Amino acid sequence: MAGGGKRKSSKTGPSTPGRGLSPTEWQSRRTQRIRIGLVLGVVAVILLARMDWRGGFRASGDDMTRYHERWFEVAHVIDGDTIRVRQPDGGDPTTRVRFWGVDTPELARPPRVPEDEPFAQEAKARVEHWLADGRVKLVLQAHQTRDVFGRLLAYPHDSQGRCLGEMLLAEGLATAEDRFSHERIDHFRRLEEEARRKGLGIWSLRGD
């Protein structure tokens, strides 16, 4: 080259990965993004594990195969709308079953429920009576087999083929739980209304 000079580089400095950012600024932001990603990842893992523990990822088809239209031995009557049957469920030797579509008065569970609600003991006693032979048939709905606590949702039937939820409603020992859709919801509402009209059970205590 004339004059023996060297061609000057058009670059004025080292390139930076982020437009308009110094290497230090870019590295700081990159580290921040990594940290945020790690935190979100940990949160996701915790949430997924929590859902799985509650049965959130348990396949509905699996429950239908294992429980639907099948007879089980009753392990324990917890209250008027919840029982346990002798069928392993995950790490539990029994399965906790919540009755579809009915809600009975609460038994005492301090501090949340300091004392038995009216007719709570009566509802539990009736379920124990109906299941005195120790057998129960569970009928499930394919669209939802578990609640948010991982409990199996079912219509329980006694050895005579009677639906326990229907009998609880008919005797005024339960209200129709209609927050969640199920196939017998209209029938359950009619049973509740009939018991209310007759002033049975819990409806004998109310002016409505």
What is the domain range of residue 137? Answer: 60-205
Among 53, 70, 96, residue at a domain's last position: 53
CA–CA dist 133, 50 (Å, integer): 36
pLDDT value of position 5: 52
Residue 74: both structure tokens together = 């009753």
List, for residues 162-192, the tens digit of each pLDDT value: 999 999 999 999 999 988 899 999 999 999 9
pLDDT value of position 22: 72
| pLDDT of 47 strictly over 50 | yes
Using left for φ > 0, alpha for ψ between -120 and 50, and beta otherwise, residue 127 falls in alpha
Residues 170 and 67 in one domain: yes
Quickly state the pLDDT bin for 34 (edges 50, 70, 90). confident
Between 51 and 87, residue with greater pLDDT: 87
Q: Which residue has the tokens 């699996």?
A: 62
Residues 173 and 135 in one domain: yes
Judged by average pLDDT, the poorest of 46-55, 78-87, 108-117 is 46-55
Residues 138 and 106 in one domain: yes
List, for residues 115-144, the tens digit of each pLDDT value: 999 999 999 999 999 999 999 999 999 999
Residue 15 lies in a domain: no
Q: Which residue has the tokens 């009928």?
A: 139
Residues 130, 164 contacting (CB under 8 angstroms) = yes
Residues 159 and 127 in one domain: yes
pLDDT value of position 7: 52
Residue 29 lies in a domain: yes
Residues 17, 29 contacting (CB under 8 angstroms) = no
Q: Over range 41-52, report the average pLDDT.
A: 55
Residues 39 and 101 in one domain: no
Residues 70 and 150 in one domain: yes
Residues 162, 94 contacting (CB under 8 angstroms) = no
CA proximity to 167, closest of 156, 181, 179, 182: 156
Residue 2 lies in a domain: no
| pLDDT of 36 strictly over 70 | yes
The number of domains in the chain is 2
List, for residues 74-103, the tens digit of each pLDDT value: 999 999 999 999 999 999 999 999 999 999
pLDDT value of position 206: 67
Residues 133 and 49 in one domain: no
Among 53, 69, 96, residue at a domain's last position: 53
pLDDT value of position 46: 57
- Whole-structure pTM value: 0.72
Residues 31 and 133 in one domain: no
Quickly state the pLDDT bin for 39 (edges 50, 70, 90). confident
CA distances from 145 to 100, 122, 135, 193 (A): 10, 27, 20, 27
CATH number, domain of 131, equals 2.40.50.90
Judged by average pLDDT, the poorest of 10-24, 152-166, 186-200 is 10-24
Residues 33 and 122 in one domain: no
Residues 105 and 140 in one domain: yes
Residues 105 and 45 in one domain: no
Residues 48 and 94 in one domain: no
Residue 113 lies in a domain: yes
